[in-house]
Chains A and B, each alone.
Chain A
Amino acid sequence: KAGVTQTPRYLIKTRGQQVTLSCSPISGHRSVSWYQQTPGQGLQFLFEYFSETQRNKGNFPGRFSGRQFSNSRSEMNVSTLELGDSALYLCASSSSDRGLTNEKLFFGSGTQLSVL
């Protein structure tokens, strides 16, 4: 079974641009959650999707948005990029409707976003 796949692996953008990151969960997993990791703030929860609906949301501005498709693949979008958005963006999938409280979260390798 393939693991969680995130694309692209690396991305360089300039301030003011927007970016879309993709996450393909493990086959059969319907919960996908997104996280931002920076050296200063550590890991922070962005949002969780289950069956195409956003179920939970962290404390990020509206520039950060996401969606989930009927095949459970998820995308997150960041508009009007700021220097502080430079980070490793991780997604995780889980197998049950318990989502964030499931026994196991399976993480992708992340997308490293650099904003210049």
Chain B
Amino acid sequence: KNEVEQSPQNLTAQEGEFITINCSYSVGISALHWLQQHPGGGIVSLFMLSSGKKKHGRLIATINIQEKHSSLHITASHPRDSAVYICAAYSKAAGNKLTFGGGTRVLVKP
């Protein structure tokens, strides 16, 4: 079982819809990254969270360290949000390394 699980694996939304991607992890962590990967491979770092909530434009990320869960929300989704979203957890307990979720492929239709 992967230490970091993402759901759903795939998501299709209509333009303007609210999107939520979930990430859960099994070990204690000190930080969690949300990344965006577009076709062609380029990865962009969206957020790093160690507690609470962060917002950037239409993107909101939250984390609950005790419940070992994080969510990425996209408000008013747009076709340009179509990408793979990946969470990555940093854990000292797991050997000071980043462990990645399997990714959520998001398609936003106009």
A binds B: yes
Give me the interface of A with B, judged by CB distance under 8 Å.
Answer: 33, 37, 42-45, 55-59, 88, 90, 92, 100-107, 109-110
- Inter-subunit contact B41/A43 (CB<8 Å): no
B100 at the interface (CB under 8 A from A): yes
Rounded to whole angstroms, the CA-CA distance of A109 and B30 in the bound complex is: 27
Nearest A residue to B6 by beta-carbon distance? A42
Query: Is B48 a contact partner of A103 (Cβ separation < 8 A)?
Result: yes
Interface size class of B (residues with CB under 8 A): 20 to 34
Instruction: Evaluate contact between A90 and B97: CB separation under 8 angstroms.
Output: no
What number of residue pairs across chains A and B have CB atoms under 8 A from each other?
56
- Collect the chain B residues with CB atoms within 8 Å of residue A105's CB: 33, 35, 45, 48
Chain B residues 91 to 109 lying within 8 A of chain A, measured CB to CB, are 95-103
Do B88 and A43 touch (CB < 8 A)? yes
What residues of A have a CB within 8 angstroms of the CB of B90 in the complex?
Answer: 100-101
B44: CB under 8 A from chain A? yes
CB-CB contacts of B23-49 with A at 8 A, as 1s and 0s? 000000011010100000111110010
Please state if B97 and A58 are interface contacts (CB–CB under 8 Å). Answer: yes
Task: Report the Cα distance A56→B91, complex, angstroms.
Answer: 11
